[in-house]
């Protein structure tokens, strides 16, 4: 298996054994974080981080990942450049990507729904960069996918159902019930993390239940892939439209706000309208009572957590909350992906 | 003495022997700047710099400090994140600090008076980060304290009264007269540097004279601690309200603008009002005539210097100006503090 | 030859043999990019990048250069500081430069015409920094010059007329015809790159033809130096005012938009007026037909390329386009200049 030079834009683009190679390496890296097996992999090399949207966790974890691999991450925003747009002269992605690839070992890009005119336009931009760049393109979250979050999620679940930090048991996840529930709140959040979670959970053999209000369907293509993944693993996929029933017997609970399927109008995300629409659905909150109906489920969330809306403090800070471990895993999975795609 | 894992928010939190350990290490580091005794201390490790307020000197010196210790500093501003405020949903410090501490070896924070609703709120935020973060919190200047500036100051004074750069004599400072004078100007400056200087000067056995117009008192608690430090060292503490008399027999002159004790109104620093108020007090300037009344005093200032208002060019660029040496010392003391609190 | 500590603000400040030393080292570095001959040159050292104007290519290439030399580049913008201006109290360059030089091995500065009140003011600022800083000042593009671009350009030309990437033949450039043509477009571009190209082309023995509309003359002093360089090399310098004739027999074609000689009015660059003025001169575009009249010329451009205005896609992406190679060379020449001026 040779992942050198490969882009990582969506987990569906990689074979299961390729994803597992990254996850197993991430676990090794977590067990022995500063081993000289990894600290020279990107020695003197540059990883370019291109943030169309700002970020704290993704920024810190990717920049630290490069440092821990012996290399250096550059932080860049598009405001630094004169890029061509539909209405403004400037540089094409064709030119920008070909030049950047001369300087750097890899390029990470983040672009979310509020920076693009229609759903999918951010992911298309990553594919355009990938077309022209010889250096691997790593998706640091776009409007469709967040594959590094997906790897961190599943690694965390497998640690909790395995032997703890750095000792995940991915087989233990097979057949477990994964509940992805829409969460209340005023944050009008992206589809990328929850879609990435659906894809990885179904890929690794979990039962999948989605719970959301009517109108909060996700990308039909992602749902289709999720169903195919479940079918291949002979697991169930179901959707419910109430905030309670999905918890029954769940092993992993993911409660997170996201925008409705009608979020884009007139060439832009209607964030304020989405916030108002979401206000009609209070009470979609992971709380102790709901968690008590699960099979001693762990609570998972990509953070930042909107406490009080998506989840109560009791659950988010409780003994079955995996959120900090999963956040930490971002570092380890990103180191693994960078090492495999950019290290020789 | 083990300082590993300790926060550095105010010099009063550290014992004198702990401060001296940092200062002596800083002097060694200055004498032998790129020795391999230090260049691997933070190897592959990340120091996170979190700037609520922008900065040049602090930014460059902290980032260079990490580089010279073999590590890497990340530059971050809060605009990158979605933090909870009184009026906006977002991430709590509880969550942010616990996650950051998974990624990094230490966290530096700068937050000054113009970013907070009342005096002390910035320092409280650092204490909140320190409560939740396993990684040490280093104060890169808050609305109350600037402990790294204090160490750089006293190291510089001890070099000038010792054997020169890298060869400070801290005993030589005992009993010397330290004049902290308010300075004219339109900059409405923070209390943090001057309060930090009062605390360190009194702690290390100096006589302390403060000179300022009526109404320009500093934090009563800091003044109380300064008096206690003086009492413990059997030195004098005095306050005068004219711009001349304090210079008599002084050994170290610090002339610097700061805002009045009435600077906060209606939940915000009233910067423009402070500038106008300060205009009534022209002539509080360290000049050659005043310096001639001292005991051949050195001139100290944390920079940036407001030339012509706080001090004349003649003094700031004169043969007894320690300002560049002290600025350089920021690097060395920060390296020492980082090595002691973050290096194993 | 000892270039340690030297500033690099304009190629005219360096002797030809000094420029050649940088170029030859750059070629070595390109042939053997991560050789341990270079990867420790800036070990634990800081290169400070000070961007008054934003940039992508310059930023990435300088930051990667420091990384590949084992050091670290800091990214800084003046908004971080409180600098003295004609109307605002703040820090002087005298103070800022002397302090920065205590922390860092070298300082790169970019300041372009839209940030200064008159032509040349940006370059004057670099000279002021150079006056006070002990650390070398590297011009990362100012309103007059872009010397690193010039080195990258000529290295690229010599590779195309030599034995390919990393194997430039500078002698092969002697007597070749260099066409610098004004280019159409709405970008109101700087004089710095084109002036730097005139100086380096004439310095290394090329025939120089400039083509531009009436009123688009460049800096008379630069033209004077170019003429002197040509005279010293016994080559021709000519100016034409039509978009076609210059192509006849050219070996290197450089088509680029720039502002007119009347661009500054009332203490500021009149960007919008310049864009409107330029609209009168459509058709100054390097296209296939014009290139067919050359002596199989290569196409050169410092990027970003304004495709469709300065040059057609056919030419910019064609088999004789050197633009990506030249962009890559930015990295190598900057590594060479940094190694020579900052490495011991």
Q: What is the tens place of the pLDDT at every residue in B225-236?
A: 999 999 999 999
Cβ contacts from A onto B, under 8 A: 75
Q: Does C60 touch chain A (CB under 8 A)?
A: yes
Subunits adjacent to chain B (3 or more Cβ pairs under 8 Å): A, C
Both tokens assigned to B230 = 């003086």
- Nearest-angstrom CA–CA distance, A322 and A300: 6
E strands, C89-247, are 106-111, 137-142, 177-182, 207-211, 237-240
Asked if residue B116 has pLDDT above 90, the reply is yes
| Fold annotation for C11-145+328-342 | Rossmann fold (3.40.50)
What average pLDDT does range C133-161 have in this prediction? 98
Phi/psi of residue B119, each to 5°?
-60, 130
| SS3 of residue A58 by DSSP | helix
Return the closest-CA partner of residue B273 out of B188, B183, B213, B185: B188
Contact A111, A122 (CB under 8 A): yes
The pLDDT score that the predictor gives to residue C79 is 74
In percent, the amount of chain A with pLDDT more than 90 equals: 94
Q: Measured between CB atoms, which of B74, B90, B99 is closest to A57?
A: B99
Both tokens assigned to A82 = 């004169």
Contact C305, A96 (CB under 8 A): no
Return the closest-CA partner of residue A192 out of A235, A228, A232, A141: A141
Cα A334–A335–A339 angle (5° rounding)? 115
- Give the mutation candidate from A45, A52, A55, A63 for the B interface (greatest B CB count, under 10 A): A63
E strands, B143-258, are 177-182, 207-211, 237-240, 252-256
For residue A98, give the H/E element and its range.
helix A93-103
Report the 10 Å Cβ neighbour count for C17. Answer: 8
Q: Does A131 touch chain C (CB under 8 A)?
A: no
Q: Could you tell me how far CA A11 lies from the centroid of its own chain?
A: 10
- Give the mutation candidate from A33, A40, A55, A56 for the B interface (greatest B CB count, under 10 A): A56
E strands, chain C, are 46-51, 72-76, 106-111, 137-142, 177-182, 207-211, 237-240, 252-256, 264-265, 268-269, 298-300
The pLDDT score that the predictor gives to residue B80 is 64
- Nearest-angstrom CA–CA distance, C224 and C202: 11
In percent, the amount of chain B with pLDDT more than 70 equals: 97
Question: What ipTM was predicted for this assembly?
Answer: 0.95
- Show Cβ contacts of residue C333 under 8 Å, excluding neighbours closer than 6 positions: C22, C23, C26, C148, C151, C152, C155
Q: Does C36 touch chain A (CB under 8 A)?
A: no
Asked if residue A1 has pLDDT above 90, the reply is no
Contact between chains at C104 and B64 (C-beta distance less than 8 A) = yes
Class of domain B149-327: alpha beta
> Any long-range contacts for C1-4 (C-beta under 8 Å, 24+ apart)?
C3/C340, C3/C341, C4/C340, C4/C341, C4/C342, C4/C343, C4/C344
CATH code for the domain defined by A150-327: 3.40.50.1370
- Nearest-angstrom CA–CA distance, A182 and A239: 11
Contact between chains at A56 and B90 (C-beta distance less than 8 A) = no
> What is residue C275's DSSP assignment?
H
Contact between chains at A309 and B89 (C-beta distance less than 8 A) = yes
Q: Measured between CB atoms, which of B187, B309, B327 is closest to C99?
A: B327
Q: Measured between CB atoms, which of B44, B100, B102 is closest to A34?
A: B44
* pLDDT tens digits, one per residue of A93-147: 999 999 999 999 999 999 999 999 999 999 999 999 999 999 999 999 999 999 9
* Residue A79 pLDDT class (50, 70, 90 cuts): confident
Segments making up each domain of chain A, as ranges? 11-145+329-342, 150-327
Q: What is the mean pLDDT of chain A?
A: 96
Please give, rounded to a whole number of angstroms, the shortest distance from the CA of A132 to a CA of chain C.
12
How far, in Å, are A303, B237, C233 from residue A255 at the CA level? 11, 59, 74
Asked if residue C78 has pLDDT above 90, the reply is no
- Nearest-angstrom CA–CA distance, A24 and A336: 9
Task: Tell whether omega for the bond before C302 is within 30 degrees of 0, i.e. cis.
Answer: no
Contacts of B43 in chain A (CB under 8 A): 34, 39
- Nearest-angstrom CA–CA distance, C103 and B57: 9
What average pLDDT does range B313-324 have in this prediction? 97
Q: Does C56 touch chain A (CB under 8 A)?
A: yes
- Nearest-angstrom CA–CA distance, B144 and A200: 48
* pLDDT tens digits, one per residue of B200-224: 999 999 999 999 999 999 999 999 9
Class of domain A11-145+329-342: alpha beta
The pLDDT score that the predictor gives to residue B147 is 98
Both tokens assigned to A29 = 């890296």
* Residue B81 pLDDT class (50, 70, 90 cuts): low
> Tokens 């490790």 map to which residue?
B45
Sign, Cα dihedral of A183, A186, A190, A191: positive
Q: Does B338 touch chain C (CB under 8 A)?
A: no
Q: Measured between CB atoms, which of B71, B75, B90 is closest to A304?
A: B90
The pLDDT score that the predictor gives to residue B85 is 61
- Show Cβ contacts of residue B239 under 8 Å, excluding neighbours closer than 6 positions: B209, B210, B211, B212
Contact between chains at B60 and C46 (C-beta distance less than 8 A) = yes
B208-247 in b/e burial notation, b at 16+ Cβ within 10 A? bbbbbbeebebbeebbebbeebbeebebebeeeeebeebb
What is the signed CA dihedral for C53, C58, C62, C68, rounded to 10 degrees?
Answer: 150
How far, in Å, are A301, B84, B165, C42 from residue B67 at the CA level? 34, 32, 22, 11
For chain C, the first-to-last Cα distance in angstroms comes to 13
Contact between chains at A72 and C63 (C-beta distance less than 8 A) = yes
Name residue A239's beta-bridge partners: A210
- Nearest-angstrom CA–CA distance, C255 and C342: 34
The pLDDT score that the predictor gives to residue A84 is 65
Cβ contacts from B onto C, under 8 A: 75
- Domain C149-323 matching CATH 3.40.109.10: the answer reads no
Return the closest-CA partner of residue C82 out of B318, B262, B188: B188
The pLDDT score that the predictor gives to residue B91 is 81
Both tokens assigned to A333 = 């999975």
How far, in Å, are B180, B205, B310, C145, C179 from residue B297 at the CA level? 12, 17, 16, 45, 64
Phi/psi of residue B204, each to 5°?
-95, 15
| SS3 of residue B261 by DSSP | coil
The pLDDT score that the predictor gives to residue B82 is 64
* pLDDT tens digits, one per residue of B277-314: 999 999 999 999 999 999 999 999 999 999 999 999 99
- Nearest-angstrom CA–CA distance, A135 and C326: 18
pTM for this prediction: 0.96
Asked if residue A224 has pLDDT above 70, the reply is yes
Asked if residue C80 has pLDDT above 90, the reply is no
Residue numbers of A between 181 and 220 with CB closer than 8 Å to B: 185-187
- Show Cβ contacts of residue C236 under 8 Å, excluding neighbours closer than 6 positions: C207, C208, C230
Q: Does B80 touch chain A (CB under 8 A)?
A: yes
What is the signed CA dihedral for B66, B72, B73, B74, rounded to 10 degrees?
Answer: 180
> Tokens 């939190």 map to which residue?
B13
What average pLDDT does range B124-133 have in this prediction? 97
């Amino acid at each position: 298996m040779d992942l050198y030079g490969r882009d990582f834009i969506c987990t569906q683009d990689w074979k299961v054994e390729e994803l597992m190679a990254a996850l197993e390496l991430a676990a090794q890296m977590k067990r022995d974080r500063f081993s000289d097996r990894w600290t020279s992999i990107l020695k003197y090399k540059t990883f370019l981080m291109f943030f169309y949207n700002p970020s704290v966790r993704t920024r810190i974890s990717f920049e630290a990942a490069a440092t821990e691999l012996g290399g250096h991450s550059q932080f860049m925003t598009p405001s630094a450049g004169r890029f061509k747009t539909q209405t403004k002269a400037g540089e094409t992605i064709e030119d920008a990507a070909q030049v950047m690839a001369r300087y750097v070992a890899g390029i990470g890009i983040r672009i979310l729904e509020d920076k693009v005119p229609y759903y999918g336009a951010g992911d298309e931009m990553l594919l355009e960069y990938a077309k022209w760049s010889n250096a691997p393109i790593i998706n640091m979250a776009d409007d469709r996918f967040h594959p590094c979050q997906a790897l961190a999620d599943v690694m965390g679940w497998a640690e909790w159902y395995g032997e703890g930090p750095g000792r995940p048991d991915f087989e233990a996840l097979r057949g477990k019930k994964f509940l992805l529930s829409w969460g209340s709140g005023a944050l009008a959040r992206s589809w990328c993390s929850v879609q990435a979670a659906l894809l990885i959970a179904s890929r690794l053999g979990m039962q999948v239940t989605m719970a959301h209000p009517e109108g909060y369907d996700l990308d039909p293509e992602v749902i289709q892939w999720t169903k195919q993944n479940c079918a291949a693993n002979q697991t169930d996929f179901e959707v419910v439209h109430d905030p309670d029933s999905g918890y029954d017997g769940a092993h992993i609970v993911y409660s997170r706000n996201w925008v409705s399927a009608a979020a884009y109008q007139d060439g832009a995300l209607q964030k304020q309208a989405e916030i108002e629409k979401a206000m009609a659905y209070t009470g979609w909150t992971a709380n102790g009572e709901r968690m008590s109906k699960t099979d001693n489920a762990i609570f998972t969330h990509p953070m930042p957590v909107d406490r009080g809306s998506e989840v109560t403090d009791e659950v988010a800070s409780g003994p079955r909350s995996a959120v900090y471990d999963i956040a930490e895993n971002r570092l380890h999975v990103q180191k693994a992906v960078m090492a495999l795609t950019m290290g020789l």
